[in-house]
């Protein structure tokens, strides 16, 4: 069955916070990527399969911050597939602490050929990959 979303539960670590004990903005991108990897594993795939001759670089990423996260707080990172194109996948992400929305984000990845000695070039997402995913219903 195709996968459309994934939820990850985490706890804020000390090295993720600034001197005020608040998570540095850059960590939200790491949280989103960690959830993305979980989504791919749930689909039975690896986003970094070394033998596939493909790579999935990020071509766009953004976050909007609403509330701070602090040291040792538990939170959830939810990622869902917002769109699948011929060569790209766009995700929507939400970081929550209980019922409180902390941040929302988006990321787009592109499928590229990745072979030693050759420049990367955007290519169609192979059917064997695309068939494992579906756009999430809102």
* Active-site residue flag, 18: yes
Domain boundaries of the chain, sorted by first residue: 5-130
Residues of the chain short of pLDDT 70, as ranges, are: none
Beta-carbon contacts of 122 under 8 Å, excluding residues fewer than 6 positions away, are 87, 110, 111, 112
Q: What is the reported pLDDT for 97?
A: 98
Catalytic residue among 18, 51, 76, 99: 18
Given the candidates 3.10.129.10, 3.30.930.10, 1.10.287.3510, 1.10.1060.10, the CATH classification of the domain at 5-130 is 3.10.129.10
Q: What is the reported pLDDT for 137?
A: 87
Task: Dump pLDDT digits (tens) for 64-82.
Answer: 999 999 999 999 999 999 9
């Amino acid at each position: 069955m195709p996968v459309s979303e994934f939820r990850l539960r985490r706890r804020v670590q000390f090295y993720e916070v600034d001197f005020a004990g608040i998570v540095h903005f850059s960590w939200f991108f790491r949280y989103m990527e960690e959830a993305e990897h979980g989504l791919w594993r749930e689909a039975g795939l690896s986003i970094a399969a070394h033998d596939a001759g493909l790579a999935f670089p990020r071509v766009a990423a953004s976050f909007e911050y609403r509330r701070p996260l602090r040291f040792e707080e538990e939170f959830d990172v939810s990622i869902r597939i917002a769109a699948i194109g011929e060569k790209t996948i766009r995700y929507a992400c939400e970081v929550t602490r209980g019922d409180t929305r902390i941040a929302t984000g988006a990321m787009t990845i592109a499928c590229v050929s990745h072979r030693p000695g050759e420049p990367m070039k955007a290519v169609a997402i192979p059917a064997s990959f695309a068939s494992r995913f579906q756009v999430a219903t809102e």
